Structure formats: structure tokens, C-alpha cells
Amino acid sequence: MTTVDITAAILIIGNEVLSGRTQDINVAYIAKTLTKLGISLLEVRIVPDQEERIIEAVQALSSRYTYLFTTGGIGATHDDITAASVAKAFQIPLVENPKALTILQNYYGDRFNEIRRRMARMPVGSELISNPVSTAPAFQIHNVFCLAGMPSVMQKMFDSLVPQLKITTPFYHNTVTCNLMEGNIGKKLEEIQRDCPDVEIGSYPFYQLDNVGVSLVIRGKDKRAIQKATCAIIEMVKSFEGDMTLETEVPLDEAASLSS
């Protein structure tokens, strides 16, 4: 099976995240879906509502990855500068999008005004991304998707554009959680990682009151490789006489049904 490498980055635009006022939850939402689509999320940046910072990040990330998703800064107030900054990043004009203008005029009717009209301004050539929550559409220009910052709106926008993303083999992961310590299993775990180069094995220890141990996450695109690594880790836990729980996206008895 040939795996095409499709990559992505996220750019969070917002003083409110950098001040600690707002806990970002957009990264995790987008990341989970990209994992299912097989798209590798390789970088996230969070920058303030400052034009030069946004331009710099959009240029760096859009040129390096297949897709860039931005969140925040697409509303109607003075601190909403994403559209203008993205236009400058690509050195293309910021114009009033006729379709967006019609959507806003129809929705607001008598309440349509100059401030709301601003939300129709987008880089020339943008495609609209619909907004089923609060109407004002988001936009895509080149490989950059500029989404709302509010999670309820962002999620609907992101879900709506998923069908147009290039998809590839999904990432799968199995997790073995056990009551052993990293310092005891680390040597054997490293051997397993060396023997299983087609998976990433992550080791995430936890220390709670009466509950100390480690979650071992086996992640990759090749189901057989994930099965092999999972079985090796289970054997390792048994050899240390550990207790374990297993969460599998790739069941261990599925080998017979896998196509090669």
C-alpha cells in the first residue's frame, strides 16, 4: 500500500489564548479528525492579533504543509484582522466577496450595516466556508482555511470542509496501560520501538494517589505493524508481571481479515 504524505498545520490567532483568558480546544478537535483522515498535523502556532505576526506565520506554515487551518479573527470588530492579514501574506487584494455580501444582506435585512458588511471582505479568489451557527461565512484561499475562533462555530465549519480534503490511510492507535514504571520497562520498550520502525510508540506516565503507571500508545498507518508492536508490548508487560488494560483500534485477532 502506498501512503501519500499529506500534512497540516494550525494557526490560532488570538490574544485571548496568549493571555490565558481562553483555554484553546480547537487544536484537539481538528487534530482528532485529521488523525482519522490520515493527515499528519505537524505544527501548531498561536500568535497575537497583530498583522505582521499573522502574515509571518501564514507564509511559513502555508508554504511548508499541505493545509493550513487558522482559527479566530474573522468577526466584525477592529480586532478581527485575519482576512486582511492573509491577503497581505499572499500579496493579493482584499475585496468584498459578492456571495458573502448577499448572504450577510439576506440574513441581517434591516440590521445590515457597514460593520457587518466588513465580514464580506476576503482575499480575492476566496471560496466560502458556510457558517450554520452565526451566518457570516469563513473562507478558503489557496491551501489556507480561515475559520472562526468560537469552538461551536469552528467545529461546524471544519466538519463542512472535511469532504474536500485529500484523505489517505488513516492513523490508528492501540493503547496498553499498565502499572509498571518507565524506568523499569524503558530498555525493553526501546528495543520494541527499534524492532517496529513503522509505528511510533509514545510513553505517557501518570502519577495519581494510588494509581501509578504508564500508558503506551502505538500509532501508525500499517495495521500489521501496530498489531506486531502491540503484541510485543503485551508480552513485555507480562514478563514484568504487570497488570494492564488494552484499548484497540486495531484488534489483535484481525490479522486474518487484513488485506496486504
Q: Which residues bind a copy of itself (CB under 8 A)?
A: 12, 15-25, 27-35, 41-49, 53, 75-80, 108, 111, 113-116, 118, 133-134, 150, 152-153, 171, 173, 182-184, 186-187, 189-190, 193, 200-207, 217, 219
Least CB distance to a copy of itself at residue 63 (A): 15
Instruction: Give the Å distances, CA to CA, from 131 to 104, 120, 154, 185.
Output: 11, 13, 9, 49
DSSP type of residue 108: H
**Which is closer to a copy of itself, CB of 10 or CB of 234?**
10
Block residue for cell numbers 486474518? 256
| Best CA proximity match to 135, nearest among 163, 161, 114, 112 | 112
Q: Which is nearer to a copy of itself, 90 or 108 (CB)?
A: 108
CB of 256 to a copy of itself, least distance (A): 28
Question: In this complex, which beta carbon is closest to a copy of itself, that of residue 141 or of residue 172?
Answer: 172
Judged by beta carbon, residue 124 or residue 184, the one nearer a copy of itself is 184
- Residue 102 parent element (H or E): helix 98-108
- For a copy of itself, the closer of residues 27 and 92 by Cβ is 27
Contact 105, 97 (CB under 8 A): no
Nearest distance from C-beta of residue 32 to a copy of itself, angstroms: 4
* Cα 110 to the center of its chain, rounded Å: 38
d(CA 76, CA 83): 11
- Whole-number minimum distance, CB 124 to a copy of itself, in Å? 24
Shortest spacing between CB 133 and a copy of itself, in angstroms: 6
Q: Are 66 and 143 contacting, i.e. CB atoms less than 8 angstroms apart?
A: yes
